Structure 1
């Protein structure tokens, strides 16, 4: 089957799978309009992000990952921000998360002009959106109106897919959150920015699936490069760019999909997307810039709808690392 035909099929699947219409409580675009006097809280968050990203362009990857790890555990309720001896922050899969200070800074800026109104959960979503836009990605509208949760437990992070998960198991994990396989492929497209630690893919370099050999699907040039970065018996957990195109590794674009089609995916789940008929069709569609610029924001919006708390179900935290009433917090 020719690539144009595959791309056509991919686009058909995308349009059938992406507009299924999902109920998301009381969220709405512009939820805070008129709730903070004449203050535009989204602009305030955007100003904080604009300042931070000038100093550190890598925060886009940090915030994308932060939102994903928050929404995949009990939904988008800012539970990832809570401190505690057994909170989500302490789970092994979250130990390399960054961006907490950025969310705190945005929260403080909003609280200074509009105290007790804007949730930390909404600030995560707004800040992530703004970092994408500042990294040459498409700016998209986000629904707001989430409330913050009270519970943060390390053991709940088992819902977060690991880098070596199979495509089928990954599809099941996303399905549990109300996200289809099309959303999954585009959310994995966030790997167009950011890095991975050697420990998350070193088995692919030396002992793939206990064969004593590297993953045969990996590009030979990439294998040599990554082995140099990640020696077999290294005592330091080095990092490698997820997007192996050095010109675009801090830009939110569709380069990731070209890389995995060339067998230059760093993580196992990324590379295996091209070997599953369901996902490779979406990957091929995503190589079209217009398609990516529409579907990636759509997937991010869908992620932000997962198991949200609205109305009286949660609270508006005064400080993102702690609930207002400590006796209500389970950590």
Structure 2
């Protein structure tokens, strides 16, 4: 049949089909998704983030981190919000998350208000995406338009959190982890700038201070004065390393821990990146050049960060009739 149709017509048919399919995909997530169905959705979420931030500034980085950790496991489906049950250990209690996630109450407060305003319409996954954006704005960063229309997943397993990049990963390992989620190295370098806000547990980087390798107890790439400061903040316990039972934390960007700025990249250039995964940005010329560019042009980095957050927010999303809209973000619908 096709051999009877002129080649040019076949090409035109294929082009129309590709455009139709791509426009359909784009329509699944779109900016102003709730404009007609729940017009106050974004402002309600923003209000809840701002109220929580002024009570506790650590909420903002917590919400950004939660969105990131959600998207890297099963996609951006709010599966990270699902509570563990006797029959299932959920993502919340996986190794990278256990005891360190913050901001659940903000998502729940926003959801409660949205259920009163427009019942059953706004997904928990979208609330988390909006809250991450609003957290960056409230800490002095630039905002971005959030495409929405995500639906919520019904599966959450702790063992799947192995997909989340670790603080001790090399540049190749982090790049590969992002590539598995269809994100480029440029996205990765921009997104690591989120480490400009918030705190880290000492146990996440203590090996760089006390047990780096068989030949160096301390990471030789770490600035000596900074290492000395970290050792005072994260002293060794009886086992020769930081006591995991003590809740010791330090700011990831000591110069401005509550401000979204390029202080993180300045620290990396000074060999004061907190994690191995931070300092590894200087190991190849192309990544180092981007770090330098971000320091020199903060506005450009903020725009790149927003673009990278949009790209990340599209990972493995459920749309249309897939998934559900949870009534309670912490529990799947009955």
State whether TM-score is above 0.5. yes
CA–CA distance in structure 1, aligned partners of residues 214 and 299 of structure 2: 41
Partner of residue 89, structure 1? 92
How many angstroms apart in 2 are the aligned matches of 1:199 and 1:84? 24
Moved over 4 A (4+): 21-25
Structure 1: which 5+ runs fail to align? 1-20, 326-331
Distance in 1 of aligned mates of 2:105 and 2:68: 17
Paired position in structure 1 for 2:320: 311
User: In structure 1, the residue corresponding to 2:250 is in which secondary structure?
Assistant: strand
* 2:274 match: secondary structure: coil
Q: Distance in 2 between matches of 1:232 and 1:170?
A: 28
Q: Which runs of 5+ in 2 are unaligned?
A: 1-21
1:104-150 Cα offsets, whole Å, 9 max, x none, are 11111111111000000000001111111111111111000000001
Q: Are 1:199 and 1:237, in contact at CA under 8 Å, matched by a contact in 2?
A: no
Q: Secondary structure at the match of 1:205?
A: helix
Deviation of 1:211 after TM superposition, in Å, equals 2.7
Moved more, 278-287 or 179-188: 278-287
Q: What is the CA deviation profile of residues 12-35 of structure 1, one whole-angstrom value per residue up to 9, with x for unaligned ones?
A: xxxxxxxxx996561000001111
Please state if 1:185 is matched with 2:189.
yes
Secondary structure, in 3 states, of the residue corresponding to 1:240? strand
CA distance in 1: counterparts of 2:220 and 2:142, whole angstroms: 35
Question: In structure 1, what is the equivalent of residue 258 of structure 2?
Answer: 250
Q: Which has the higher contact order (CA 8 A, sep 6+)?
A: 1
CA contact (8 A) 2:82 2:90 kept: yes
Alignment of 1:37-52 (within 5 A): 39-52=39-52
**When the two structures are superposed, what TM-score results if normalisation uses the length of structure 2?**
0.87
What SS class does the counterpart of residue 313 from structure 1 fall into?
coil
Q: Deviation per CA, 1:239-259, whole angstroms, max 9, x where unpaired? A: 1111121xx111011110011
Q: In 1, are the aligned partners of 2:49 and 2:60 still within 8 Å (CA)?
A: no
Separation of aligned partners in 1, 2:274 and 2:84: 33
Q: SS of the counterpart of 2:302?
A: helix
Give the 3 Å change call, closer, same or farther, for CA 223–87 of structure 1 in structure 2: same
Q: What is the distance in 1 between the residues matched to 2:158 and 2:60?
A: 24
